[in-house]
Chain A
């Protein structure tokens, strides 16, 4: 702790999205933009001015009531802004390659290593993406994230677009509509499948929220700042990017420009949800398992797929093991698996929450397991898009027309070791936790061939024929610079 106190995060230089998802601003828009060729100077001006409007993380705990703006850049923008190759080489390979790179030209493979790892093959392949793939809307230089209250969003989008110089909003290649991805969050934080989302989030050590955690929860949810912000010690006690020179500013010396400092990587995935398919599967499976497809049977199956009830209560919590209670208390998140549910009898080994965050369930012993899994956490800041169909706690697929899904956004300091590792080693790993041929039930990409084992007495249940509930429709890796770095890019 003593060491941590010395390494104080410069919160006034970190963009606000790292610490908050702006709960008081339910509407958001993600504006994808590109730089106008030959107008780099104007674009720099825009970025420099923007640095003054971007919401910083400090003061901590202050939630903006009217609007918030954040910005993230892609690899293309850095190149076009003319940063020198040495500086460019300090960025991570994953970011420089992008989310959907092509295989190396000499290689005999048609699919790139990254796309395979992320599960972006078959129906998820980047060829079919609306944006960010190799075929359509490839030239994304950055994303402007704006947040506002209900009606003020359009005004904010308008005013921000008017202020753009040297850059322009991308237009969808198919519909020629501007690529302004509008999103929202529900008051009860439910997503389209009807589950309460975003319950389990890591807390950055040293922040008031982390200090307020119970000792038990702090053991696994309080994570060192370097896992989310460049330039600080992470869980392995080494930092990515140079650490801020201690006290350099006080001594009146201008520190050398460091673009990485106080920045982080932002992963953006456009995920379409097939609500009807989910409900259909749950009803069919309930019929098979319980011989009836009434509401409790369906909810039972749905909860096994996720590991939580739609209300968010985890199956590991004893009162909620078999049926949902109408308990008013908040869903628990201070549980671990090794001592509470080692064999997955309550929360199946292959369920979504266990795969996405295995806590202390993997590895030789719970301590080691916890130490390892803390190196692979992400801060999720996703929001919903499309018509809101959730009624009475669930979405039966009939209440809404049109495509809907989630704009998955997460923040991490090392894409390879955090977002990507969760994808390939936990979610898409057929051998996760000693299993044989299963992938994550929620985001697996094997349409109609998915399998899931539900650990049970006397013998395990095996669900087969899981369709693809979630389809990737776009995505990109971005870098969210510190505010000083943004200003430096603007000059």
Chain B
């Protein structure tokens, strides 16, 4: 159960804009104390709406094309209709006074609340993309969890200062605290049960992966159809090609025989040369791909240094790398079930793909012991490589070397494991081995055949991405001539101070509201790009970025993107924590810049006395550059901002990090903790 939202947009009656502005400021805008308290006006007791997180009123001024509009934005718990009913009960006369100024508001007003509700719901446009920093948590939970935390802090503070009252161990301290703060205080007993975790948070990533696999499966089926239509290749053809895999590396086969590598194993077992080659070749290929990929990997995750070609090559390489890994795993599995234990000595010639090993029980024991030692050594190595980065700062070259070595170690561990399995399987009775082979071979070959179609599909999609990127680049180059540069907006002449005079003042020292209105660039391609980007942002916000961060940014509390006026304008409403300046810096300097670019590169604004058109700072392949031009980007945002006339927050002094830490604290009350977790528990208080 996530947060629900309303974005009610109504047209303002002719010449009523100024009057409405006055009404909103005088009866609806809460009083924002410097002492960080929000006091609501009697006609708009937002604080009495138990489920209301944030709400705001803004006015979209009219211009030569668009009529002036009133926007009411709300984020709340529970169904929309219930919220509107409650709002009309608590702030009915106030709402009536406000919406008197709007076109189409029923003359009956509050007399027939159902009609008023219908009017408001009828003008709700929802959002094309929505993000919440603490999804699924009702206002009550957020507030009481915060109270619980401060009670705990107060208790610990007193216990700490009144000498000798502290139990000796941390776990005793915790159970005493639990007793004193939660069990003994009736107001905190609710914390005896764990909070529910929304499904999207608990299973979001899994849902996303399954969804992607389903889409891939459908596309792969289409690919299979296309193969048949174009080249008359049936899945059975693909299957039989893959099933003859061990015949493929003839070259490697003869090479290996020549350098006598096989004789080296002669004492213990006889190898089928093509098998060894077919397993060895993917390993070598994988290592080469990984090596090249690391070369393209930027040493520091600095979005300022990233480019489309670098990113694209890296992406293609990693797709190929995973494909090779899949093939390797499949072939290794098949080799495993085709292994035969024959008495020594035998020839090394292959027979129907069978891998011959000659091993006695004693030999197997020695080999297994040896493998165990190798696994231990490699495991130790892997752990120390993983820890290396925790203890100290590595230079970029050493960091890349570390990653590569770690991969080599993991591969080595996999191969050793495979080797162990080979010997174990070889010792099994022939009947069992035959049964295993009978099951495993067709399954692996079928999966590999399916994977081949999936790979073909992914390669086509990669081509499609390249095509879209090139078209977008063309649009970007044309727009550079069509729109004035945002750099000009940095001039004082385009200042828009009234729109943001309230920022960081009083209550807004902790949280702020940002309302931005931009025009969508004309053309189908731009529209399609914007709609699909917002769809993607919405999906990711629901399934992936649902733990308080959107693309690494931990200060967004509740944000929404709404395409309005039939796709001609984009409205962005955002409740965020901290000052504007550093909030925007995060979008410039962290990887979230790509999201900002992908959305707003499709927009422009009109500014100045001549209503000139200024484009968003020029992007490169939709995702790069753009907002990274700090001053032009900030000027663009400033110029697109509209004044927030009314703003309310249910928890104005908390940050998203605080809210999520409070929930973590409460949830961890129920878990048995290891000593390091216990340590972390008290660390946060």
* Contact call A461/B582, Cβ cutoff below 8 A: no
The one of B493, B501, B503 in contact with A89, judged by C-beta atoms closer than 8 angstroms, is: B493
A291 adjacent to chain B (CB < 8 Å): yes
A78 proximal to B (CB < 8 A): no
B306 to chain A, nearest CB (A): 13
Query: Given the interface contacts A103-B501, A104-B501, does A368 sit within 8 Å of B683 by beta carbon?
Result: no
Total number of A residues with any Cβ neighbor in B under 8 Å: 57
- Complex contacts, B509 vs chain A, CB 8 Å: 116, 428, 430
A238 to B588 CA separation, bound complex (whole angstroms): 13
Nearest CB on B from A432, distance (A)? 9
Q: Are B628 and A236 in contact (CB under 8 A)?
A: yes
Interface string of B478-518 (1 = CB under 8 A from A): 00000000000001110101101111111011100000000
Is there contact, CB below 8 Å, between B682 and A116?
no
Of B301, B501, B654, which one neighbours A365 at CB under 8 angstroms?
B301
A154 to chain B, nearest CB (A): 41
User: B310 interface residue, CB < 8 Å from A?
Assistant: no
Whether B259 is near chain A, meaning CB under 8 Å from some CB there, is no
| Pair A106/B156 contact, Cβ less than 8 Å | no
Given A104-B497, A117-B504, A421-B582: A368 and B301 interface contact (C-beta under 8 Å): yes
Best-buried of A339, A421, A430 by chain B (most CB within 10 Å): A430
Q: Is B657 within 8 A of A434, CB to CB? A: yes
User: A113 touches which one: B301, B501, B661, B683 (CB < 8 A)?
Assistant: B501
A107 contact from B392, B501, B655, Cβ within 8 A: B501
Known: A421-B582, A437-B653. A109 touches B502 (CB 8 A): yes
A121 contacts B492, CB within 8 Å?
no
Contact string against A for B residues 591-633, beta-carbon threshold 8 Å, 1 for contact and 0 otherwise = 0000000000000000000000000000000000000111100
Please tell me if A402 contacts chain B, counting CB pairs below 8 Å: no
Q: Of the candidates B157, B497, B582, B630, which one forms a contact with A236 in the assembled complex, judged by CB atoms under 8 Å apart?
A: B630
Interface 1/0 per residue, B390-411 and A, CB below 8 Å: 0111000000000000000000
Q: Which of A363-394 contact B (CB under 8 A)?
A: 364-368, 371-372, 375
Write out the residue numbers on chain B whose beta carbons fall within 8 Å of the beta carbon of A255.
none
8 A Cβ contacts from B222-244 to A = none
The residues of B that contact A437 with a CB separation of less than 8 Å are: 653
Q: Check B581 against A458 for contact (C-beta < 8 Å).
A: no
Residue tally, chain B, CB below 8 Å to A: 61
Contact yes or no, B504 A431, CB < 8 A? no
**Dominant secondary structure at the B interface:** helix
Contact A455 B683 (CB under 8 A): yes
A476 nearest CB across to chain B (Å):
19
Contact of B173 among A431, A459, A461 (CB under 8 A): A459
B414 CB–A CB distance under 8 Å: no
CA distance A109 to B502 in the complex (A): 7
A403 within 8 A of B: no
A364 to chain B, nearest CB (A): 5
A416 touches B502 (CB 8 A): no
A residues near B161, Cβ cutoff 8 Å:
288-289
Do residues A425 and B498 form an inter-chain contact, with CB atoms below 8 A?
A: no
A483 and B400 CA atoms in complex are apart in Å by: 47
A421 & B581 in contact (Cβ 8 Å cutoff): yes
Task: Check if A113 sits within 8 Å of B500, measured CB to CB.
Answer: yes
What A residues does B163 contact at CB under 8 A? Answer: 291
Given A121-B34, A236-B630, A364-B590, the answer on whether A460 and B497 have CB atoms closer than 8 Å is no
A372 touches B589 (CB 8 A): yes
Query: Who on chain A is nearest to B29 by CB?
Result: A108
Residues of B within 8 A of A122 (CB): 34
The reply to whether B25 and A238 contact each other, CB–CB distance below 8 Å, is no
- Which residues from chain B contact A237 at a C-beta distance below 8 Å? 304
Given that A420-B581, A424-B581 are contacting pairs, would A116 and B628 also be in contact in the complex, using a CB cutoff of 8 Å?
no
Within 8 A of A (CB), among B19-36: 25, 29, 34
B579 within 8 A of A: yes
Chain A positions 331-367 with a Cβ under 8 Å from a chain B Cβ: 336, 339, 343, 364-367
Asked if A462 is at the interface (CB within 8 A of a chain B CB), the reply is yes
Quick check: B34 and A434 within 8 Å, CB to CB?
no
User: What residues of chain A lie closer than 8 Å to B25, measured between beta carbons?
Assistant: 108
The residue among A219, A336, A375, A436 with the most chain B CB atoms within 10 A of its own CB is: A436
Chain A, range 454-471, C-beta contacts under 8 Å to B: 455, 457-462
B208 within 8 A of A: no
B300 CB within 8 Å of chain A: yes
Question: Within 8 Å of chain A (Cβ to Cβ): is B417?
Answer: no
Interface string of A437-454 (1 = CB under 8 A from B): 100000000000000000
Residue A96 CB within 8 A of the other chain: yes
A431-B578, A434-B657 in contact; A367/B501 too (CB < 8 A)? Answer: no
Alpha-carbon distance A140/B307, docked complex (angstroms): 48
A117-B629 in contact (CB<8A):
no
B658 an interface residue at 8 Å Cβ cutoff?
yes
Contact A460 B173 (CB under 8 A): no
Please tell me if B330 contacts chain A, counting CB pairs below 8 Å: no
A105 to B425, CA, bound (A): 85
Q: Which A residues are in CB contact (< 8 Å) with B510?
A: 430-431
In the complex the two chains form, what is the Cα distance from A90 to B490 in whole Å? 8
Residue A93 lies at the interface, judged by CB distance under 8 Å to chain B: yes
Given contacts A117-B504, A288-B161, A431-B510, contact A424 B629 (CB under 8 A): no
Cα A436 to Cα B651 in complex, Å, equals: 13
* Residues in A neighbouring B505, C-beta threshold 8 A: 103, 109, 111-113, 116
Known A436-B658, A455-B683: A113·B504 in contact at CB below 8 Å:
yes
The reply on B166 being an interface residue by CB < 8 A is yes
Residue B103, interface by CB 8 Å: no
Residue of chain A at shortest CB distance from B655? A431
Looking across the interface, which residue of chain B has its beta carbon closest to that of A416? B581
Q: Are A339 and B391 in contact (CB under 8 A)?
A: yes
In the complex, what residues of B have CB within 8 A of residue A416's CB?
Answer: 581
A477 → chain B, closest Cβ, in Å? 15
Q: Does B432 contact A (CB under 8 A)?
A: no
Q: Judging by beta carbons under 8 Å apart, are A424 and B685 in contact?
A: no
| B302 close to chain A: CB less than 8 A | yes
Contacts of A424 in B (CB 8 A): 504, 579, 581-582
B577 interfacial by beta-carbon distance below 8 Å: yes
Q: Which residue of B lies closest to A461 (CB)?
A: B160
Indicate whether A417 reaches chain B with its CB closer than 8 angstroms.
yes
Please give, as numbers and ranges, the residues of chain A lying within 8 Å of B81 by CB-CB distance: none
Instruction: Please tell me if the beta carbons of B578 and A89 are within 8 angstroms of each other in the complex.
Output: no
Contacts of A89 in B (CB 8 A): 491-493
B183 within 8 A of A: no
8 Å CB contact of A459 from B500, B585, B682: B682
> Is B266 on the interface with A (CB-CB < 8 A)?
no
> Is A302 on the interface with B (CB-CB < 8 A)?
no
Which residues of chain A come closer than 8 Å to B166, judged between CB atoms? 458-459
Known: A238-B630, A461-B157. 10 other contacts (CB 8 A): A109-B506, A113-B501, A122-B34, A219-B393, A238-B631, A288-B161, A289-B161, A420-B581, A430-B509, A458-B682
Q: List 9 A-B contacts (CB under 8 A).
A: A111-B34, A236-B588, A343-B683, A375-B585, A421-B579, A421-B582, A421-B585, A424-B581, A460-B682
Sorted nearest first, the 6 A-B pairs with minimum C-beta distance are A431-B655, A425-B582, A107-B501, A89-B492, A424-B579, A462-B157
